[in-house]
Each structure stands twice: as structure tokens, then as C-alpha cells.
Chains A and B, each alone.
Chain A
């Protein structure tokens, strides 16, 4: 893949002028070639980098700290033109005065059932949820995959972090997708 390999090696050899350097540089170039090849060859199945998306959900002002309210947060996954068959994600509030109080399914029939949550990861303000569908009718583009019901205490906005750790097609091929959170109006 590296078409400039001879030139690169020659350049080095001219600079160092010792036989051992030839050997080392050849080994280095071979390793680089192998690594690059491996990355290109696995491009279709490698995990997309997990990115944490920060979302600010507004809240009312002038509310006493011990007064609570219940809100719903919609979780969207945009899988572009790929059909989404499986996903796993984490949603977490940076504040400690938030309690998760229920998990609802999504809008598309494939993910209408309420997703399961990771029991051990469940915390008052953090949840890992996942779902998969074996059906043929699967969503593509931007689709609400879950709705999280939360209890929030006090006034002001809360910051939520969301991470889409897995998104895949029916054959298990991992696909790039984007996650977003939206507070449900009302």
C-alpha cells in the first residue's frame, strides 16, 4: 500500500549509513504496512467510536429544591439509510437529583416494547438499555427507540449524557448511528 517505501528507505539509509539501520527501517515499514492493511481490511466491522452526546434539558425556574416534577425524555437513534435491528445505549444525568422512574418503548413497531435495562448498571440517574428486533420491518433514519420517565427535583436545566454503544443490522453488522435526546413537551 505504501508506494513510497523505497524512497523512504533510501532516504533513511543515506542519512544513517549503517547496515543495522537498514534492517530496522525495513522492519518498521513492514509493520506500518501490516497495521494499515489491517485497519482498512476491518473497516466494515470495527466498532464505531463511542461518542458521548451532551444535551441540556431545560427546567422551570424558581422551584424549591425539594419540589419534584416528572418528565419524559425521548431517545432517538439515527441510523441513516441502514435498517436498525439492535442497539444499546447509556443515558446519564450529570445531576444527582434525578431518578429514573420508568422506561418506555419507541415509536416504531420493531422497538415498541419497553427495552430491558442493565440491572447492575441501573442507578438513580443512569441507565443502560438495549433492544433488538428479529422482524423484517425495521426503522431507518431518525427514530425514537425509547422514552425515559424521570423525576427531577428543584429548578433549572439538567445536563444529560448519552452514548450509543451498539447499533447493528439484522446480520449483526455494526453500523454508524447517532443518538439524541429530546424532552417531551407537556
Chain B
């Protein structure tokens, strides 16, 4: 019996050993097998049984791991769970797990290992060469070599239009060539219009092409060994950068330029640069979502786009630098960075220079900069731009000050709290605190409901309850019982929030508190459009790196407003601003008299309500001379209007970004139609493609490609290596990432 047990033990250990051996082979073998079929190495005890001393396979397996062939037969199995050997043998060896077993004379055991040819591309589990792994003590973070060394961000803000240059420095830390793949975020309103690849001292401007065409050019160049790069858009705020044929030790830089408009919120402009894609939840059956997998688990999510995450004990050398030049046009009163340490330099009264601190350079949270301008001096003004395509304008509509004097009607407040696994911990604490404050601010004229969703949805009661002190207490108790776990079936939360009869005597306002970590954004937005009715949506993006595309679009479709609740924000302050907004009626039924301007293609096509503290940016094309326009609407039951004049400095300043911003808005509008009207999909696709190509913009259907035909590397394109990223600060790896 003991012999049998020891034999079973030996077989089990060998299976482990063989698996680990395969890992080691893939990293360090100098004599690879010729194909991926299993290779085997017999250890025949017939001939060596007398020599058995309980450590038969140590050297055999070690030899396999390093590509050697000799095998002294002793009885110990080397395993190295998920660690990789340096290819050149110069780096420290990883820790080993030793297992002992016995073989009886005459028995034969086979160590079966799947051979891996380093010349054939494999998945990220086997980074080529693996020469840069640095083992640390268990308490220290382990530095993982990644093919992205640094991201440099330089932004220039003029008024409320930002021009941002992002330089990604890819490098190959391994000992054979690679293709680097990096899934990264940009602002959802970023109009990406330039793409330059730098190879050594040479700069090559990328060409915008239809996506399939660009992918084909890139794949051909990659297969032929040329250095090439491809930028594709997976979501309006998620992009994939591929760089092919980076040779060991070499660096390839990618420069991306985009324009975007800034949010203006209660007297402050907000510049946001997202640094990491949060781990998305994809409903079962989805395949075109955004997968979240652990480092090296390529393909584990089954999604068309996948982000690999570092485990909590790992860190990468990838860091970020950021500098920002602000020219506000009016005096800047204060500058505040929400999530990062920054240095702020006063240039003039209206200009600031902001630099991210080098000690806060880990790209695991959004960079959010709010700068308050002299509030009373802010004037609604129109800026214009003229080029070969025609004339464009943009203007920010501010709600008239009189709105603050009018009180709101009774409300039916519905709070929807995301209780999925990604909200576990600090995010849900923040959201609960915010909702608690909002609930306590209600009056007995109002009713409220609290809904939570994760894999399913549940709620405080069957129907909204009057905001009496007792019911508020009951609501707070319920709120405190909620925790984050499970999936993010947001559709369940939407249904629960909108699928019940409307109280005609109250204004229904639905407040979503979520990080928005879902991969089916458009499904949610379509469902929201279908179910909205007379409700208004106020979306709150919670955490350090929320899905801002989803949050922004929910508020836009829901004719409400968006706000962000960082882990560093004071939830009371954020909700007080929210209370201030909803304490006054909005200016509704907006219409614009364009005066002498002949205006077309205005975005947003349906003008939202003007809410206190929350202006609306309107962009369009025109012919004729720029002139003042008159905005009309209703305040409560009374007609109201105000005039927007042309910016006095308009004629002397250049606003090149306006055309790109306009085209980006048009594309976003068309994409919304695309997801809602499948019967017009082909026509819309063509219009999006044509617009994107004409304005040289990224879109779902266009991509930038750049090929260096001068640099031809040896052999095939090497191993594809994803750039693993940190989960956003405050998000738990264990509850969000598939392993």
C-alpha cells in the first residue's frame, strides 16, 4: 500500500514537474523542439535502478529546463510555479519546489513535456528570453519586465480645448524580438488625429486607413519582419497599440496627438487624462467585450479585446510623466489635482504650468486636474475656425443665473448602486457615503428608492418611500448592508430603476453610482434610451479610473449630468454640488436662433437641458460670417433666453482643434445610431469611415498604420507580448480579474 501511494505521489509530482518544465523550456531552451508536439524523455529505471537515491529527476528536469540532455538519476522534482528562467543564465535562479518519490527497480517513468519552439510565437505566458525577471523577497513587489517603458504626456489647454501629445516608449527587455500589444485608455471625446512612429532618429508619420486595410498592411509588414505599428479603437475610450518586430534592447516610440474639450463644472474646468483601463465585466455569451485576465493568461476571457493585469505582488517599470500648460483666457483662482501630486507654477494670472510629480508616476489612476476660474467673469462665447473643409464653431452654453432663484418641484429619487466585485472595498464605501448624504438631504415632499445590482438586482422596497426620518433611517440601514461582489449585470439595475410606474406628482431622477466596468457599453446605452421615459439620469463615476465613456453617455442620453467621485474626493462635497443642481429646475426646451449664420450639423443633435452649474458645449458647421446667436427655452413655465456673442479674440486666434472636435462628435453621434439601427448599419458605417478618413481621425472603422520599410528584422515577427497593467488603485484584483 505504501508503495502504491508513493507511486501515485511520484506520478502526480511528475505531472507538475512536466508542466513547469514546459514553462521553463519555453523560456530558456537553446535547443528547441521543432514543433509543438509533446516531447518526452524516458527515465528508465531498468538501467539505473541501483543508483536510485530518491532524487532521480532533479538534474534531468533541470537539464530539460536549460535545454541540456544529461540526466543523473536522483529522486527530486524541480518545479517553479509560474516563474521563468533567465535565458542567459546570468540572473538569479528562481526558488524551487522539491518533491521526492521512489521508483521500483524495473519500472519506467516518462517525463512528458510539451516542446515549445522559441522561434514560433507563443502567448504571453512565455515572454521571449525572459531575461529580465527579477526575483524579490516575498514581501517586496516583484518587478515584471514589460515592453512599455514610459508614457510621456504633454498637454496645452487654450480656453476649453486641449491639445495633447502622448508618447509611448516601447522597448524590448527580452533576448529575442517581440510584438508589443498595449490596450490603453484615452478620453472618450479625444479626437485622435496624428500618429507618428519613431525608429531611432527617424520619424514616420502613420496613415489613417479603413481598419481592415490598416490591419492587413500591418500584418503583412509584421510577417515580413518590418518594424510597424497599428493603432485601433475598441471603444471610444479604449485603444489598442501594436508595435511589431521590436528587436532586443531596441526602442520604438509612438506619438499620438489628440484634441478634446474640457468639462466645466460649478466654476471649474476639469482636464482628465485616463491612465489605465479598469477590469471590465462581460455578460456570459458576450465575445466582443473587454476581457480582464491575469498576466500571461492571453485568451482566457474569450473576448475580442483583452487587458492583462499585474497581480498585487507585481509591478512593472512602466511609468508616466505629464506636463500641462493652461491658458484659460480668464484669471485662474486655484488649481487642484484630485489623484496625483503635482507642481503648479504661476506663469501669468491666466496661465499655469502643471507638472506631475516623479514620485507619483505609476499609471494606475486617472489624472484629474480641476482649475477654478474667476466665476463671475465667465461668459458664454463662440469660437470659430475656418479651413479647407469649411467653417466650424463651438460655444459653451451656461445656464442663466436666474435659475438659481427658482426652487425645484418634489422629486422621486432613485439611487442605483453598483455592488459588483470591482466596487468591493473603498469604491463602494465612497458610493455608500455619497448616497447616504443625498438621502439625508431629501425632504418629506420627496420619495426615494435604493436599488443595488451585481449579478442580479434587489431594492429597498417594492416602491419608492416618502423621505420621512424613519424611512431615511431604514434606507441607511439597507445601504450599510450592501457589499461588492459578483458580476456587473447593469441591465438588471437599469430595469429595476426605470421599469416601474412614474409618480406623476414628482420629478423622477435616477442616480447611478458605478465604476462602469462593463464590456457591453452600447447594450446598456441602448437599453437606457428605450426605458428612459421622462426620467433624468445623473451618473456618478466612482473610483480612480471609472469608465467615463459610459458615464458621460448615460448622462447625455438621460438629459442629466455626470459627476465623478474619486476615492480622494469628499463625497459630501460632491453630493452637495449634486443637491445644488437638482434643487433648481433646468432650462428646458432649448432652441437656438442662429442669426446671420447658416448652421448645419450641430452636435449634440438634441440639445440637453441646461442645469445649474453644468454648461453644455455645442459644436457645428456654418457658412457666412460669425455672429451672435440667441438661445431660447423655458425656466419652469416661463420663457427665457440669452445671447451668445462671438469671442472678441476669435479673429486673432487659431482654433485648429475645433474641426477635429466637431468631426469626433459627429462620429460619436453616428455610432450611437449605428448601435441602435442595425438596418442602417452599412450606410452609417460608410459615413463614419468617410468622416474619419476625411478628418484623419480614429474611429471604430478606421486605424492608423505606420511601416518602416527600411528596417527589416531577421526571421518571423517573434512573440506577441501584452503590456500588463495595474488594476486601478482601490480595485481588488481578486474580485475582478480572471485567472
Contacts and interface: CB of A to CB of B under 8 A. Distances in A.
A113 B203 contact: yes
A70 B205 contact: no
B709 A72 contact: yes
Interface string A52-77: 00000000000000001111100000
A120 interface: yes
A102 B694 contact: no
Given A69-B224, A70-B226, A114 B205 contact: yes
Contact of A103 (B205, B221, B388): B205
Given A69-B224, A149-B707, A101 B205 contact: no
B203 A101 contact: no
Contacts of B712: 186
A119 B709 contact: no
Interface in B199-221: 202-208, 213, 217, 220-221
B709 A150 contact: yes
A106 to B, nearest CB: 11
Contact of A70 (B202, B207, B213, B224): B224
A147 B706 CA distance: 13
B208 A102 contact: no
A113 to B, nearest CB: 6
Contact of A119 (B203, B220, B694): B694
Most buried by B among A70, A103, A115, A120: A70
Contact of A100 (B202, B207, B221, B694): B207
A30 to B, nearest CB: 40
A70 B196 contact: no
A100 B224 CA distance: 16
Given A102-B207, A119-B208, A151-B221, A70 B707 contact: yes
B243 to A, nearest CB: 13
Interface residues of A, number: 28
B694 A104 contact: no
Contacts of A101: 207, 217, 221, 228, 705-707, 709
Given A103-B207, A149-B708, A186-B710, A70 B694 contact: no
A139 interface: no
Contacts of A71: 709
B27 interface: no
B713 to A, nearest CB: 12
Contact of A114 (B203, B221, B228, B696): B203
Contacts of B202: 104-105
Contacts of A184: 709-710
B518 interface: no
A99 interface: yes
A88 to B, nearest CB: 13
Nearest to A67: B220
B307 interface: no
B693 interface: yes
Interface in A88-121: 99-105, 112-117, 119-120
Interface-centre pick from B202, B709, B712 (highest chain A CB count, 10 A): B709
B708 A102 contact: yes
A120 B710 contact: no
Contact of A122 (B207, B221, B224, B708): B207
A70 B202 CA distance: 17
Interface string B181-210: 000000000000000110000111111100
B695 interface: yes
Nearest to A73: B709
A114 B194 CA distance: 11
Given A119-B695, A122-B208, A151 B203 contact: no
Interface string A13-54: 000000000000000000000000000000000000000000
Chain B CB within 10 Å, residue with most, of A101, A151, A186: A101
Interface string B259-291: 000000000000000000000000000000000
B526 to A, nearest CB: 32
- Secondary structure of the A contact surface, majority rule: strand
A149 B707 CA distance: 7
A69 B710 CA distance: 12
A122 B196 CA distance: 17
Interface string A125-150: 00000000000000000000001011
A20 B702 CA distance: 69
A103 B204 contact: yes
A72 B707 CA distance: 10
A70 to B, nearest CB: 4
Interface in A146-164: 147, 149-151
A126 to B, nearest CB: 12
Interface centre among B204, B208, B224, B389 (most CB of A within 10 A): B204
Contact of B204 (A68, A99, A117, A149): A149
A112 B200 CA distance: 13
Interface string B602-620: 0000000000000000000
B284 to A, nearest CB: 40
A151 B706 CA distance: 11
Interface string B536-553: 000000000000000000
Nearest to A114: B205
B64 to A, nearest CB: 40
A102 B388 contact: no
Given A119-B208, A119-B695, A149 B203 contact: no
A96 B208 CA distance: 18
A184 B694 CA distance: 30
A147 B203 CA distance: 10
Contacts of B197: 102
Nearest to A184: B710
Given A69-B224, A120-B388, A115 B709 contact: no
A147 B389 CA distance: 27
B205 A117 contact: yes
A62 B228 CA distance: 26
A120 B694 contact: yes
A119 B205 contact: no
B204 A151 contact: no
B220 A116 contact: no
A68 B220 contact: yes
B545 to A, nearest CB: 32
A165 to B, nearest CB: 15
A98 to B, nearest CB: 11
A112 B202 CA distance: 8
Nearest to A68: B220
Contacts of A151: 217, 220-221, 707
Contacts of B196: 114
B387 to A, nearest CB: 11
Interface string B551-575: 0000000000000000000000000
B683 to A, nearest CB: 21
A100 B712 CA distance: 17
A150 B694 CA distance: 21
A160 to B, nearest CB: 15
Given A104-B204, A149-B709, A119 B696 contact: yes
A89 to B, nearest CB: 15
A100 to B, nearest CB: 6
Interface of A: 68-72, 99-105, 112-117, 119-120, 122, 124, 147, 149-151, 184, 186
Given A120-B388, A122-B693, A151-B220, 15 more contacts: A69-B224, A70-B221, A70-B224, A101-B207, A101-B228, A102-B708, A103-B205, A104-B202, A112-B203, A114-B196, A114-B205, A120-B694, A124-B213, A149-B708, A186-B712
25 contacts: A69-B224, A70-B220, A70-B221, A70-B709, A72-B709, A72-B710, A102-B204, A103-B205, A112-B203, A114-B196, A114-B203, A114-B204, A114-B205, A115-B205, A116-B205, A119-B694, A120-B389, A122-B207, A147-B710, A149-B204, A149-B706, A149-B709, A149-B710, A151-B707, A186-B710
The 4 closest A-B pairs by CB, nearest first: A70-B709, A114-B205, A101-B707, A119-B696
Interface of B: 196-197, 202-208, 213, 217, 220-221, 224, 226, 228, 388-389, 693-696, 705-710, 712
